[in-house]
């Protein structure tokens, strides 16, 4: 994935960006992205990695994985 992928989780819009072996996850508000976290792609479940490779922003496995990243960031106070 070379381009940003826009993903809607609940009522919020997030952006996922592949950066080599890492995945950056950010929140998009008014066209601006605030990067929340970077996770190693290899830590995602296989189905989520496959969806990421396909660019399938509606795949439930990918949405679940990214929801977990976002929830962890919120719980850390980000």
Write out pLDDT tens, residues 18-60: 999 999 999 988 889 999 999 999 999 999 999 999 999 999 9
CA distance 4 to 16: 6
- Give the confidence band of 74 by pLDDT, cuts at 50, 70, 90: confident
Euclidean distance between CA atoms 36 and 58, whole angstroms: 20
Q: How confident is the model at residue 2 (pLDDT cuts 50, 70, 90)?
A: very low
> What pLDDT was estimated at residue 61?
97
What's the whole-model pTM score? 0.86
Is residue 78 over pLDDT 70? Answer: no
């Amino acid at each position: 994935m070379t381009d940003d992928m826009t993903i809607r989780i609940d009522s919020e819009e997030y952006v996922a960006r592949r950066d080599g072996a890492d995945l950056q996850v950010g929140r998009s508000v008014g066209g601006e992205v605030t990067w929340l976290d970077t996770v190693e792609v290899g830590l995602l479940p296989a189905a989520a990695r496959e969806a990421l490779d396909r660019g399938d922003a509606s795949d439930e496995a990918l949405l679940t994985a990214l929801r977990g990243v976002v929830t962890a960031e919120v719980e850390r106070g980000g």
